[in-house]
Structure 1
Amino acid sequence: MVPLSACTTTQPGRTTPQATTESLGPAGPVPPGMERFYAQPLTWGDCAPYATSEDAKSLFGRDGLQCSRLTVPLDYANPQGDTITVGVLRHKATDPANRVGPLVLNPGGPGASGMVAAASLASQASNGPVGKRFDLVGFDPRGVGASQPEVTCLSDSERDAEREEDLGIDGSPAGVARQEADAKDFVAKCLQRTPKGTAMLANIGTRDVARDMDVLRSALGVEKLTYLGYSYGTRIGYTYAEQFPGNVRAMVLDGALDPSQDAVDSLVAQGAGFGTAFTKYTQWCTAQKDCALGTDAGAATAAYQNLVRPLIDHPLRLADGRELTFDDATLGTIQALYSQQLWAPLNSGLNELKRGRGTMLMALADQYNERDTSGHYTNTQDAFTAIRCVDDPRVTDKARIVAAENSYDRVAPFLDDGRPNGAALDSCAFWPVPNTSEPHEPKVAGLPPILVISTTNDPATPYDAGVNLAKAMNGALLTFEGTQHTVFLQGNSCVDQAGAAYLISGTLPPDGRRCAAQ
């Protein structure tokens, strides 16, 4: 190990760390043929060059952050072949005398930046028990963000144009044909514009991300991984646990995906989650003096539909020349349902819409799509599709597609556009490579006890998914009674104390433990 170098200040208010190399691996089991990857040194330095978004630029300039690149095989079946790199960010434990080790984390998506998540979490949790005792380590999964190469499908202008087209509303045969042509065009652009093309898209899935995480574990110098996964990050977690059960020290999975559900069933279950969250929102809103949906919670869904459905035929032109479509208005609403902190902005946006303005709803939709103020998108949406298309079998049964869309409208009626559903195949139906995994209950013999956290009214990952995952992995379940997506290290003292106790000392909460919103 090379000791960390001293820091030098290169500009007022910011301390830039000098590059320094640590050689801590190999640690723990090393698969045959993987020695050079598991033993690789990591060179840590300034995080600013890794920033690929406005959020990253804002966060990565803060003191105490170090970034590096991890080299991994593009195809694990051919470790002597082509390689790619994974971006990694670290914030070291603030109580080094009592340091436990690295806590590797992923925020979900799929396609979201773990580096951004770790930098953000460091600013919130560095003085709490988790930040004091653990190095917070976030990585951008292969193809995502600062990892190289990145999945690239649409340009910024093409993404803007796609949002304005709102193709998904027309369920007629002609509309379905246009949607499928657009899906095929998207696939062709992904294949053409993503460096390493077919090979990259074939090896972009969670199966390979979990293998990358084991390489990272070894390079960080630990035999046993401590992991925190949110949302889709829980899939990375349980996939890792199945592949490397003996390499796990502790694992917190918050906002779980149900490992046994396929893409269709998962989508409908998610729709039910958003439907419940919208009902909770309307109960809150109609108790406010200025609720855009009136004072009757029972009539709020109809009031919402009356506000947004006219956008189908008459999109709202904004001052910057962009158009607020039905899809953007509903996406903005969905974004706000992820956290009660966004309920007031959503109400403001709906009141704006009543007055013929759409700035707030568009801002919420941009937040969902990760579009910054300059008009640049992260590659999250492109990566989301690429990963999803190899993580699950493609869906080509058009009768099942229509049935699922009808079910979705029933469980989330606020999103119903009021028009007949079509049976358009999505991009995954035309994906150029086969799926590399499929829904199943993880086989995790030898795995130590893990902690699953599930929120009763989670809009994106319904509560029952967490219950099912805890059972499948023989883990403990901690229930949070609230309406939001994920909760650990977000300020609820009951959840945070239970999760920290488990991560630090392995102490699981008692069976049936529940935490209430504060």
Structure 2
Amino acid sequence: MLPRLRLSVLAAALCSAALVLSACSQAAPPAPAPPTPTPTPAELNRFYDQVPQWGACADYATSAQAQQAYANQAFDCFSLTVPLDYSAPAGPTAKVGVLRQRATGPDRIGSLLFNPGGPGASGMETVASLAPGLAEAPLGQRFDLVGFDPRGVGSSTPTLDCLNDPEWEVERADLDVDPSPAGVQQTEAENQHYAQLCTERSGGPQVLANAGTRDVVRDLDILRAVLGDQKLSYLGFSYGTRIGSSYAEAFPGNVRALVLDGALDPKQSTIDRVVAQNAGFQHAFDAYAADCARQPNCPLGTDPAQATARFQALTRPLIDAPARAEGGARTLAYPDAITGVIQGLYLSEFWPVISAGLSTLASGDGTTLLQLADIYYNREPNGHYGNGIEAFNAISCVDEERITDRAQQAELIRRANEAAPFRDDGRGVVAALDPCAFWPSPPTSQPHVPQVQGLPPTLVISTTGDPATPYQAGVDLAQSLGGSLLTFEGNQHTVALRGVTCVDDAVTRYLVDLSVPPPGIVCRPA
């Protein structure tokens, strides 16, 4: 995901580790949804044949930041109409917001579509941020740069919505650290209510049932056709790699080029991904601590081996006594302190901000860490929240495997805490299940080896020190797709189009000329 946007790509780790929400019941797990009947071409013709009504983008903005960005006259926007439920294409419809910057050169190849990840991040905002800097670069000259908000996200409707702004403030302060039976019962009751609110405020079970990647890739194929592209050119970051690899399975013959940066491995189980991801963040924390130890006045001291213990000593007291923040107008609770540090671990350039936040926390001021957590939760200065985390939860609940056994959940959290002790609250394992067991609709996907016969060459990029999507997942995805792997040696989450010449040149050559990098290519920071 791009650095200026929400960096909420912990997949199930945040839910399962109780950093966002935790919940669920002991009810029997719903079986995976049966395959959706494939509509005949005639049933979908009205969607594939629609003509985009391009216009100004101002009405698509869902935040002050987007409103300012969308005022750029180089952009135009429209709403794509898609079936809400592909098994009933004559029924209700959904709208997908789309933003475009037209190719600036005479030799246009077609459209290049972007997704920044999440799930829950806005592709429209991504392109509005990224495209102006690419206007005179080969990608901007040869492609219309197109961002879309997946169904339920950002400007797309029906909107995935669960909590209002005051409820978000309460949720962020909720500790959920009591491992007793009463504590587990309370957490699950709270989160049963959360699932009910999501159902009511998002438009009912049918909306939630069709919010996952299975349906996003079908929307993506309609968008490809409506944009006039015979084949898809696509760049996906983080969760956007799941969209890309799922599209490759569903429509391998419709692919021109796929760049997948920061991979989710489709054959990896949810539990294994959660544990690996927690280990990735501990690795990032350790790398930060080692760097911090070389700086003057490091808040974690000069011995990296003691950094986790010193971090726990700084943050665990917040469980009983939140810190003042923003001059007393707000407070920093323990969950937000952990979330703020996780936010800073996505990119090594943010490490000094973590140090500043921990230093001021040691003196009783939680403002910096709270502001980092605000970025994660997409909270605007006026206190309004975007729907990114709500979409994250809703999409994950139909994309991921479900745990409905408390013993299995307890074992997962124990393994996650063991993998990432810096974020262990020390109060014991709270065996409350994650929110998805209360979800009104079953999963629509499960771990599997992709079947992509006929897929053209693809490019997967994986970063050795990526905390959120660890390196091995990219290795495995490239192998599953029969594609090329580009390795970047660095400490950050995703790298394409971030100014690393070695990476960006390879991406540009592939997208423009369909020339894949040589095997074994490794890029390093400048």
Where does residue 420 of structure 1 map in the other structure?
A: 428
The C-alpha deviation readout for 1:82-139, integer Å capped at 9, x for no partner, is 11110000011222x1221100110010011110011111133223222222111010
Distance 1:502 1:354 in 2: 48
Query: Within 1, Cα distance between the matches of 2:429 and 2:491?
Result: 29
- Structure 1 residue 320: Cα displacement: 4.8
Aligned with 1:42: secondary structure? coil
Unaligned segments of structure 1, at least 5 residues = 1-28
Counterpart CA distance in 2 for 1:255 and 1:322 is 35
Whole-angstrom CA distance in 1 between matches of 2:158 and 2:111: 26
- Counterpart of 1:322 in structure 2 is 330
Question: Structure 1-normalised TM-score?
Answer: 0.92
- 1:368: which partner in 2? 376
Per-residue deviation, residues 478-508 of structure 1 (Å, max 9, x unmatched): 0000000000001100000001100000111
CA deviations over 1:336-373 (Å, ceiling 9, x no partner): 01111211111111111011001110000000011010
In structure 1, what is the equivalent of residue 10 of structure 2?
Answer: none
Q: 1:32-60 CA deviation, whole Å, 9 max, x = no partner?
A: 41111001010111111100012212211
TM-aligned CA deviation for residue 30 of structure 1: 8.6
Which residue of structure 2 aligns with residue 293 of structure 1? 300
Q: What is aligned with 2:515? A: 507
Corresponding residue of 2:252: 245
For the pair 1:308 / 2:315, whether they are aligned, the reply is yes
Q: Is the 8 A contact 2:98 2:147 kept in 1?
A: yes
SS in 2 for 1:479: strand
Correspondence for 1:124 among 93, 108, 133: 133
SS in 1 for 2:492: coil
Give the aligned partner of residue 111 of structure 2: 102
Q: Secondary structure of 2:418's partner? A: helix
Aligned counterparts of 1:264 and 1:482: Cα–Cα separation in 2 = 26
Q: Is the 8 A contact 1:125 1:489 kept in 2?
A: no
Distance (whole Å) between structure 2 residues aligned to residue 273 and residue 170 of structure 1: 26
1:284: how far off?
Answer: 1.1
Query: Is 1:173 aligned to 2:185, yes or no?
Result: no
Q: Indicate the SS of the match to 2:159.
A: coil
Counterpart in the other structure of 2:232: 225
| Structure 1 counterpart of 2:146 | 137
What value does the CA root-mean-square deviation take over the aligned residues?
1.2
Give the structure-2-normalised TM-score.
Answer: 0.91
Match of 1:206 among 204, 213, 221: 213
Aligned equivalents of 1:32, 1:448: Cα separation in 2? 28
CA distance in 1, matches of 2:423, 2:138: 41
Could you tell me how far apart the structure 2 residues matched to 1:43 and 1:230 are?
A: 28
Report if the CA contact (8 A) 2:324-2:364 is conserved: no
| Structure 1 segment 48-59 matched on structure 2, within 5 A | 48-59=58-69
Report the equivalent of 2:157: 148
Is contact 1:234-1:254 (8 Å) kept? yes
What do residues 428-479 of structure 1 show as CA deviations (whole Å, max 9, x unaligned)? 0111111111111110000001000000010100000000100111010000
- Runs of at least 4 residues off by over 6 Å: none
Q: Percent identity?
A: 54
Amino acid in the other structure paired with 1:52:
T
Q: Distance in 1 between matches of 2:371 and 2:523?
A: 32
Contact 2:112 2:234 in 1 (8 A): yes
CA–CA separation in structure 1 for the residues paired with 2:65 and 2:121:
12
Whole-angstrom CA distance in 2 between matches of 1:125 and 1:337: 27
Number of equivalenced pairs? 487
Cα distance in 2 for partners of 1:94, 1:301 equals 50
CA shift, 1:265, in A, is 1.6
After superposition, the C-alpha distances for 1:234-277 in whole angstroms (9 at most, x for unaligned) are 00001111000000000000000011122222111110110111
The one-letter code sitting in structure 2 at the alignment partner of 1:215 is: I
Secondary structure at 1:149's aligned position in 2?
coil
1:191 alignment partner, SS class: helix
Partner of 1:377: 385
Letter of the 1:277 partner, please give it: A
**C-alpha offsets along residues 281-311 of structure 1, whole Å, 9 cap, x if unaligned?**
1111111112111111111111111111110
CA distance in 2, matches of 1:478, 1:32: 41
Query: CA, structure 1 residues 428+338, in 2 after alignment: closer, same or farther (shift >3 Å)?
Result: same
The alignment status of 1:115 with 2:124, answered yes or no, reads yes
Q: Tell me if structure 2 keeps the 8 A contact 1:454–1:480.
A: yes
Tell me if the contact between 1:405 and 1:421 (Cα under 8 Å) persists in the aligned partners.
Answer: yes
Distance in 1, matches of 2:156 and 2:103, equals 24
Tell me the SS of whatever aligns to 2:353.
helix
Asked if residue 70 in structure 1 is aligned to residue 80 in structure 2, the reply is yes
Give how far 1:198 is off.
Answer: 1.1
Write the distance in 2 (CA, Å) between the matches of 1:69 and 1:309.
47
